[in-house]
Amino acid sequence: MAKTYLSTVKYEVLANYEVQGVVEKPDIVGAIFGQCEGLLGEDMDLKELQQSGKIGRIEITVKKGKGTTFGEIIIPSSLDMVKTSILAATIETVEKVGPFDTKVKVMKIQDTRKEKRETITDRAKELLKRMQKFEGVESGELADTIKTEIKTEKVINFRGLTAGPEVETNPEIIVVEGRADVLKLLSYGINNAVAMNGGNIDTPLIGLCKEKTVTVLIDGDRGGELNVKKLAALTKVDFVAKAPDGKEVEELVQKEILQALKRRVPMSEAFKEGITNFEAPAQRSFEPRSFEPRPFTPRGFDSRPQRRDFDSRGPPRRDFNSRPSFGEDSRGRFGDRPRFDSRGSGGGFRDRGFNPSFSNDRPYTPAFTPREEPVPKEVLDMKKDFDKLKGKSKARILDEKGKKIKEVEVKDLLETIQKTKKKIGTVMFDGIITNRLVEAAEAKDVKVIVGVKKGAINPQKAKAYTM
């Protein structure tokens, strides 16, 4: 039986034949094998080639006409190009099928690998298109996408509220303003957060707060303060924590969130003296107490600053008098005067936390915080309109002539500034002036920003005032 190794077929010999009589397929096959036998030696004998698998089964189609038979002959070959051509030429030597004259004509030798190459090319194009979908994507973007998907999977719907997976089981909960804040806390492993949805406080949250120990973590603006006061009016709030001034919870890094939670204060004390209760000691504003040195001219000395010489053998030597005076005791201390530090030979003043440096030729001049730039008259004239915004979380955008362009919620102010096409002259709002707001305003050539309080800002073009 003939062997056909389709996986090794390189060429196909396609030929047409015509027999001047009516014959069957076995007659044609027998004529081909019989008349080609011994023409080219044993290595090219059709039977040997077929048995060794170098040519496949010969396919013949038979069509009959009026006293004739015709059709196609197909011979698959795994020989090389030269031997396949010799084989094709040998087929054309068949002249008889039985008693009838026959004519065989090779039409073409087809390279079957071309079809495979086209298939490979099409498949390669498809694979390349799939690869190109990811071309140009940074590893950071892929990482952020994966992190976002993981965080989103952890968020649950608890009684209709967006929350972390431990809200139900944990005896303490952290109430934040929105879904983005819950996701931020989840990314840092804090899984007991729940969103209050801004000022739209739902009934399930009111009930949940009554069952748990509640810490409310708010943004560093006036809107956050108003939200926590509204929640406290509806249900139980135990503690309040606040993001740094001008920042939102979703913008904080892990260290800032943990510090804010660590500095939480009881709700009863949160707003007694203003929002500064949430600041770390190092962040609280500090103004030195007024210091006016008493006029003092020792007997026998002029009023110019005196050089202070120190003796390495003991406490510094006084240049005032040899005897104690003005209430000085035996240990060399004055009642209300700064005293010398005897530790080491350098010496210096110590006075309730002050440690000013003195030169030998220059008297000490205490440093004071510079005064804030005075509010211009044209801004003060807006105070009546500004007072209408206070306590309402509203913002008003004015043109260069002071006419109102738009009045919006404070939470929408930044986006409104960026999208407003008219020339903006002044922005006034019930909130804290932050760097992000100043940058957005300066990008629109806004000249004046008026708010309730200033954050840590560095305005270049726009002037920021508080009233």
Same domain for 271 and 150: yes
The pLDDT score that the predictor gives to residue 152 is: 52
Q: Tell me the per-residue pLDDT of 427-467, one tens digit each, with 9 for 90 and over.
A: 999 888 888 888 888 888 888 999 888 877 777 778 888 87
pLDDT band, very low/low/confident/very high, at 150 (cuts 50, 70, 90): low
Q: Which domain holds residue 81?
A: 6-114
Residue 126 pLDDT more than 60?
Answer: yes
CATH code of 29's domain:
3.30.70.60
Same domain for 294 and 275: no
pLDDT band, very low/low/confident/very high, at 341 (cuts 50, 70, 90): very low
Residue 211 pLDDT more than 50?
Answer: yes
The pLDDT score that the predictor gives to residue 347 is: 42
Same domain for 419 and 316: no
Same domain for 106 and 26: yes
Same domain for 326 and 407: no
The most confident of 7-21, 39-53, 331-345, 371-385, by mean pLDDT:
7-21
Same domain for 194 and 164: yes
**Mean pLDDT over all residues of the chain?**
76
The pLDDT score that the predictor gives to residue 107 is: 92
Same domain for 295 and 274: no
Q: Which range has the worst mean pLDDT, 76-80, 169-173, 210-214, 286-290?
A: 286-290
The most confident of 174-188, 276-290, 348-362, 370-384, by mean pLDDT:
174-188
DSSP 400-431: TTS-EEEEEEGGGHHHHHHH--SPP-EEEESS
Domain C-terminal end among 114, 130, 159: 114
The pLDDT score that the predictor gives to residue 356 is: 41
CATH code of 232's domain:
3.40.1360.10
**367 lies in some domain:** no
Q: Tell me the per-residue pLDDT of 216-234, one tens digit each, with 9 for 90 and over.
A: 998 888 888 888 888 888 8
If one counts the domains in the chain, the total is 4
Distances from the Cα of 174 to the Cα of 154, 191, 222, 266, angstroms? 16, 9, 19, 14
Residue 371 pLDDT more than 90?
Answer: no
Q: Name the residue with tokens 């440093």.
A: 367
Domain C-terminal end among 244, 279, 314: 279
The pLDDT score that the predictor gives to residue 223 is: 83
Same domain for 312 and 216: no
The pLDDT score that the predictor gives to residue 402 is: 85
Which residues sit opposite 242 in a β-bridge? 218
**370 lies in some domain:** no
Same domain for 159 and 75: no
Same domain for 300 and 270: no
pLDDT band, very low/low/confident/very high, at 73 (cuts 50, 70, 90): very high
pLDDT band, very low/low/confident/very high, at 173 (cuts 50, 70, 90): very high
Same domain for 300 and 254: no
Cα gap 419→45, rounded to integer Å: 86
Residue 10 pLDDT more than 70?
Answer: yes
CATH code of 439's domain:
3.40.140.20
The set of residues, in sequence order, having a beta carbon less than 8 Å from that of 218 and lying 6+ positions away, is 176, 177, 224, 225, 227, 228, 240, 241, 242, 243, 249
Domain C-terminal end among 256, 279, 302: 279
Cross-sheet strand order for the sheet of 161-163 = 156-158, 161-163, 193-195, 172-176, 213-218, 239-242, 265-266
Residue 324 pLDDT more than 50?
Answer: no
> In the predicted model, what is the mean pLDDT of residues 283-309?
46
> In the predicted model, what is the mean pLDDT of residues 380-407?
87
Residue type, 408: V
Residue 52 pLDDT more than 90?
Answer: no
> In the predicted model, what is the mean pLDDT of residues 155-167?
87
**Model pTM greater than 0.85?**
no
Same domain for 173 and 268: yes
**129 lies in some domain:** no
